[in-house]
Structure 1
């Protein structure tokens, strides 16, 4: 590791055989070792590595260490036993990631794909999703009900993960093949639609040619004689043609007349149908409306009942309220009398208070006047002082501003001079940019034209290249399908797919080890069977195909011991030193003479001579027959003592029992080698074609790349010129803007100078005015101070009188307050009772109003109900009328249909007359044409073939005695030719071309069908293999799990169960556990320690059934108590003989079980280091 998480520096960890322990305090980075192994094996989830994004695995730095830019991990595996399918004793798997997100995978130092590593590790128990790396999180995932992870563990143990992957790949290819098959079937269907009629035309053309040739042989003798007769017939046929033409025109006119009538009536019919549909829709709406009105009437009746109940309740409430009103009126009368007495006393006291308050008001008024006068004088004095200060400040500000404006004018004049100089320089710079910009524009336009020409050439070349690429892709697609099937078959052959588990184990053990020499192979590998006999031989042998041929019985015994020792299943062996050949007895030989008997099965297969006894033993007494009937006769002829198998796989067994029917072709062990050989040849041929097209494509691509480089270079030059032009234009604009800005700035400066000088003159005038005002304000300030002292003495005397009178008023107010309180109390009581009386009276009025409203509402509802009933009746009448109208329209529709039927019948009769006349006309036309053609043919034939002009000899012709016989022959031939007309002579060539295309497409179709069938067979084989291997593994794991659970828990019981035994490819796996002393319970209710120990039992069971080369247990023992930790450690030691364990732990019980121990420390902040420890050094850990 280097730069991975907390391991900043390069660290190498050697894991010894047996158990290696990794310990360290929390946060030291020990679990980073587990993360590193997961990561290098292809983990894609940053969350699974305890990060938020993948680059979080790179060392992030610490207080005294800078962050790393790269994280690298390399895992070295021992492959001397060739368990991994790669020819190296050591396999180094590496992974690297950089800060910029770049990631690489390495296999023995060479870059590769993640898929390559995943395929290499398939079914080994190693991988990011396999059961070789187990942590607390995975324990929970394994034990969760319906966990997909649990299913994946069993699949990995069963070795079907790679089958699953191949199945998915095959299904994708199958879908693609099906799509292509659909497309090509559509094309074939279209061509076949064209070929059928074209084939008939071609056959007609061929027949026509034959008749024509035969005709010419007889015709030459009669040409001159026939010519004269034909001229006479010609005149007659022309007259007939004119007569038929007149009659035909008349009948056609009649047909058209009827057609117009039919069209007119059909239009009427369409209108009627539309009216009927509209009326039916309206009728449906009215019925719905009627239904709704009925609902409204029901609702109105219900509301009438509710209002009647409400009216009775309101009348009762009014009576109760009137009784309460009478009682309140008596109480109010008593309160009024008491209130009058208190009011009289209060009035007397208030008169006394008013007199006192009048005197106090008079004093306050005088006091206010004196205070107000004093404040006015004080304010005048203060205002006078403020005004003097303001004028003094204003005078000072004016002097400062005059000085400031004088300084500003001087500075602006200096700036104006500098701006004039800068303006002259910028104007010169602008003129230089303008000249340079014109030259650059001209060069830009020239390069643009060159670029356009190059791009046009590129488009032409790209089209040529794409045509080649399409051809290449089509070929590559076909090659890919063939290669995929070939790879699948080779993988199936290599992995011994389809063979029993025990057979597979022995073959792999013999292949990868020198411990079992003398294994020759299975029967299916040792015989070669012609394709036509594959089904027969495979059915006849059945499971015997998987029997293993060995050199002698000792090899067989060693293999059986190996299977027992490793609990690896069963197998049947054929030792060559013990096996005896078998053959037909002399009295059974006659069965081979029965019709349909092909031969003894042993004679129909090829094999090497050293296996002769074994092959004769299994095939020497089996006869292959053509069909079931033959098989029965052969069995009888052999006294029912031999097995007979048909080519379709039906069997007649010794004794006479028969086996047959439909057969699912799930496995084809015999045909696999043949298919591999055939496919290899096809792939080799397709590879040559692919290479040829590829070379042409490469040449075209180089040419295209060269042109594109030129375009890219030109494009860059144009872009650069454009950028230069833009940049220069920008500089020019900036210079122009700067000139404008400077001119504007100069104008602003001048205006500002003028403004400042005017402002300066105004300020000087203001300065003189302020000085004059200041002098007038300084006089008369002392007079104001004397007036203020006099007023203060008068105010003090008035203040003493005011305080004395205030005390008297307070006493009077206390007496009044007491009386007012009593009065207020009585008034409140009176008011409350009045309010209560008013509320009661209002409530009575309200309830009486409510009664009135209820009566009105009842009348309103009754009125509405009557309206609804009337509306419903009216709607009912409308529905009746609509029905009548609908019936009337339907009657009209029936009448129109009758008329149409009548016109159609009359039109039909007219058409029949027209067709008969047309047929006569056609016949006459044919005869007329025939006469003309014959006349022309006679002339042409005599001229071309005999160099004779017909009129030169017509008058001197000789009569032929056998004229009628020859004429009959000619007539028959012409009639046959006429029956074939019209003839498309070009159809022969068209048919041949289309047939060739159809043949080519059907070949492609056949290839695709074979490809599809092959893929379906492969998928079927893979699924059956997956089911068989999964079920076998599940049973073995179930047995081991139940035993290990009892060992680890020292009692109790546990069961594994398939959720759906009928769906072995997708079924989940249930775990039912019952620790000692407890009832059977759901896993979710178990403690963390029980869960962990149950998961451990499951992992150990998987290990025993299909061991992984190594295991990483990341604090798996954390939730266990000490007793369980010790049992866990003991079992771990027992299993260490089978596999390598890397245990990350805190528990001493586990540490005692390890053979090698590493400690993880963090001496420097944020950086992990590894130290090797002795077991006695861990005691104090």
Structure 2
């Protein structure tokens, strides 16, 4: 890394200068240039001309493409495949596109590996398969090699030496940081910015590596700090654990005493709730009897009230029908009166509208008559103009035909003359170029120096010998690597198998030891240890039960599981030790009886016959239930001595339920069963573990041996690879030199022969072109005189015809307006007449309606009074019936009120009955829960071996249970916050400190590399600042010189956006003559173009590129500005070769050679070249 940095620093001050001249541009299959085309560029000012769309700009695109342009958008395409000729009407698509630039390096101005050649060619080729290739002198290279060749010279795909259409506006309107890139290119620091970027990338990677080391050190520091704290954590943990046990014992003792007191209180509450429930049930029966009698009375009253309602409904229906008939007659009389008044109003309104419309019709009829007379007069004027116009048109067409024929003939002769002149210029230029090229090729052919064949043969044989040795080494390496991988796979498999077996054995052994210790340390061992019966058989060791019923069997036998078998005549009762115990001293037999199918005794086996009678006696009447719900549902079927037992240990007898809470002290049978299974498992694992250990050792030794062998072979292989690479590089270099020299010699011979043949043919063509040009010049002069005579007559005829056409248009316009006005008035009159007819019809309709209403009013003048008498009679009967209904309703309401009161009492009592029942059940369950809690707390104290007398004293001075729970929670939380105690903290701490020291050493080395990289970047930045500042000042000075030259006055300057020379942007300030604007955005299009040209020419004058390509940059300029532009280009052509595209006459006249691009065949471009100087000389002769 350090050697690379010093190489960058040493190479930075060197800037290559490329002064080669462009001599040829060869295109084949590129865009519209489908045929192989060679554009000769012999002089310093070469113009490419031709009509729009003929393919001139494709020449600029070709140069940019061969220089490494990678963006299809910059080449006016959607994809890079668009640069390949895509076919035409008579042409097939080209399979590939190829562009080659040929440079003259006869003065060997090019430095580096290619400087020894008198001619350097740069070529790019692209196939439709997407294969892009670059060549320098027909030798394949990278795109970067071509970019590096021109880097710092302004020549490149995006350099300032190639100025395409629209690039002038992009330069002048570029952002400051984009404009800075052109200054950097002129300063020659662009290639070193790329080197700096690579150095920064390495610096970034190094810093990331340093950051990872810092993260590792930080993590190690945290681990060390954690390990240092863990040493003091163990003692604190033990103290807190003792405190937690003491607090838990006091809390369990307090809760045990509280649970016993609560059980007594809940028993009294249960009997009180039971008595209250029985009283409520008796009152509920009495209320149900009263409600039944009251409901019968209510039903009879509702039937009577319903009959009265039906009679009243019929009567109200008859009354409503009579009232509706009377109201309908009154409503009809009122509607007729309203309709008569409305009809009279409508008739009056229609008469008024008829008077107004008839008056407007009379006025319109007079206006229409006047407009018809005026329209007839306008029609006569239009006819007069139409009669005169055809005569003028016929005369103008005859004059135009004669004028156009003469103009076409004159243009044809001028085009033919220009074409002949261009052909003559191209022929002369080609002859001159061929002569110069003959001399260069002869010199190059004489200078070719090829290495001898014997040297190449010896080097190739040495490379082949080393390659064979390397191939054999590769085979040995692959074989050893395969053997090593197989050994590693076998080792990993053996290691995995051993770890699995070891973990199984370790887990089983730990569980086996824990269970053995648990079974040996039973509470009764202390009792029997004080007697001479310590080795007597124990019941739980001789019981075998299914896994589902082991727990239930432990519950029902409880302390009896610890029973020992003693002789019948023992004296243990006379001298009892302290503690709890159980024993069997009678091994007789019981009277056998048939047990139910659900009996628990049927589920177990007793392996010691002397225990069978006792166990059968203890389990007599114990039945198995699958769950508690089933046991409760079958509770009524139990006999007095029977109970139901569930797998969970719950007991249901004839009168109640006992719920069991799990306890570790009642799992002896499960522990014994698991203990026996683990013993069998350990016996099976022992031989498997030993075999796995042996296999693991063998695989490890094999793996170590193969790994050492692989490393030896790998080292030997690397040494051979380096030797092969060195030999092949030397052979390739000699072969490339030999092959390239031979190819170049053959190419020169063919080219010399071709140039000689071309020169003979070109000399003949030149003589023929001289004769054709003289004949065409005389014909053109005669036609020009005839053309001037016809021009005046043609213009006079056009003036007369235009005046006649304008008169006809005006007459037609006036006639059209009058006709539209007449049509509108006629249409309005027709509408008014239609309205009069409509109103007359409406008037007749309203008169008929008025007559109908009068007749209808006379028919309804005598209403029938009998309906009113009938209505009064029915109303009196209705009042009497309503009184009867009210009396029946009152009686029914009284009965219903009494019923609701009794029902409310019954509902209240019914709602209270479940509450009383629930209260009785809840108090019973709470009592059982309190007893279970008391039992659980007592068992917890017993398991921890607590001293009850000591706890009773401590409980008197202890806080409440709530505060004790809070203290326990706080202590438990403190213990949890300590985490696990690490006994291996010291060893881990030493390893962590050793790793920390290693990381510190690594960080120091990496930091030293970072400092070195930063020092290199700082030196590069310092040199870049100096060179950029010098270049900026020089370009600014040149801009201040070129701007007044192009504008004929004014001033312009460059300014940096800030003081940082590494990142500061660059902007242009310009003031054309007579203007006060200071920013380029206020300039016109032509002024912007001239300002951009002043900047580009300033860059060229400071760092001249080998050539400059301009694509219609003079398009926005007028003649005065174009003249100044041409003068400046001529001045700069002394140092830079210019190839430009233009449609401007003044710019074309400036050229030394003209290259015409034609497209006579649609979609195919061809080249015609003319040397202006030779053409002028021939014209003078």
Range of TM-score over shorter length: 0.3 to 0.5
| TM-score normalised by structure 1 residue count | 0.35
